[in-house]
Amino acid sequence: MPHAKALSAIDRQNQIIELLTERGSVQVEDLVNLLGVSKMTVHRDLDALEAEGRLRKVHGGAALADTAQSNECSFCHGTIPPDSRSKVTMHMADGTHHHACCPHCGLLELPSLGNTVASVLVTDFLYGRVVNARSATYVVNPGLSICCAPTTLAFQAQSDAERFQQGFGGQVLNLTRAIDVLRDEMSLSPHA
Ligand SMILES: [Zn+2]
Ligand SMILES: [Zn+2]
């Protein structure tokens, strides 16, 4: 049964992305009706788009890929600049990502995520390199403010963190201790 206006796969996929950009998420059923193709074809299109990282499949439909929304901190909802030297990315067990504007937000959010977190990457403040959060060293509350207060910065090398501390002050801590200190600071803060 030929469809009156059969769209090419590329046209269909572009329409799906357009719709997603407009609505944030779409249902497979809606796409079947809108595009006039079978459920199987819709799934194939969604698979292809997911493989390209342009969306992620969710139950019964699809949502915009995280990369398209990655400029919002999932903790403080501040905007993360693309060239951020403090950005944190949390890879979740279900394949989604959480992004934080700085280790301050990332470290405070981490305990609430529990074992749904597969891995955490932080940005080395000096070099802009992405490093594993567990092996990084943190400087909490130095005498300058970067992003959220108390300022928390990550360093790949402990020696860099120490040199930074010599210049700007603050506490040099590993991941676990940095989380503890931040949680203490926040619970003392009247804004917490
Ligand atoms: Zn934040
Ligand atoms: Zn921040």
pLDDT digits (tens, 9 = 90+) for 131-181: 999 999 999 999 999 999 999 999 999 999 999 999 999 999 999 999 999
Q: Are residues 96 and 178 in the same domain?
A: yes
Single-letter code of the amino acid located at 3: H
Cα 87 to middle of ligand 1, angstroms: 9
Residue 118 lies in a domain: yes
Cα–chain center distance at 80: 10
Q: Are residues 18 and 55 in the same domain?
A: yes
Q: Which ligand is nearest to the CA of 146?
A: 2
Q: Are residues 59 and 140 in the same domain?
A: no
Q: Are residues 63 and 133 in the same domain?
A: no
Cα 160 to middle of ligand 2, angstroms: 21
Residue 168 lies in a domain: yes
Cα 153 to middle of ligand 2, angstroms: 10
Q: Are residues 184 and 92 in the same domain?
A: yes
Q: Indicate the DSSP class of residue 82.
A: T
Q: Which ligand is nearest to the CA of 103?
A: 2
CB neighbours of residue 166 within 10 Å:
9
The reported pTM is 0.65
Rg (CA), the chain: 21
Q: Which ligand is nearest to the CA of 73?
A: 1
Number of domains in the chain: 2
Phi, psi (rounded to 5 degrees) for 57: -75, 135
Cα 87 to middle of ligand 2, angstroms: 8
Q: Indicate the DSSP class of residue 154.
A: E
Residue 150 lies in a domain: yes
The residue segments making up the domain with residue 131 are: 88-188
Residue 78 lies in a domain: no
Break the chain down into helix, strand, coil percent, rounded to 5.
40, 25, 35
Q: What pLDDT score does 85 carry? A: 92
Cα 44 to middle of ligand 1, angstroms: 36
Residue 79 lies in a domain: no
Q: Which ligand is nearest to the CA of 77?
A: 1
Cα 144 to middle of ligand 1, angstroms: 17
Cα 157 to middle of ligand 2, angstroms: 21
Q: Which ligand is nearest to the CA of 85?
A: 2
Cα 186 to middle of ligand 2, angstroms: 14
Within 37-117, where are the H helices?
39-51, 66-69, 103-113
The Cα-based distances of 48 to 11, 35, 42, 91, 94 in angstroms read 13, 16, 10, 22, 19
Residue 75 lies in a domain: no
**8 A C-beta contact, residue 164 and residue 153:** yes
What number of CA atoms fall less than 13 Å from residue 82's CA on the CB side?
3
Cα–chain center distance at 65: 11
Q: Which ligand is nearest to the CA of 76?
A: 1
Q: Are residues 166 and 117 in the same domain?
A: yes
Q: Are residues 171 and 118 in the same domain?
A: yes
Per-residue pLDDT of the chain (192 residues; tens, 9 = 90+): 445 467 899 999 999 988 988 888 899 999 999 999 999 999 999 999 988 878 889 889 998 876 545 688 999 999 998 889 999 999 888 878 889 999 999 999 999 998 889 899 999 999 999 999 999 999 999 999 999 999 999 999 999 999 999 999 999 999 999 999 999 998 876 654
Angle at 101 between CA 99 and CA 104, to 5 degrees: 105
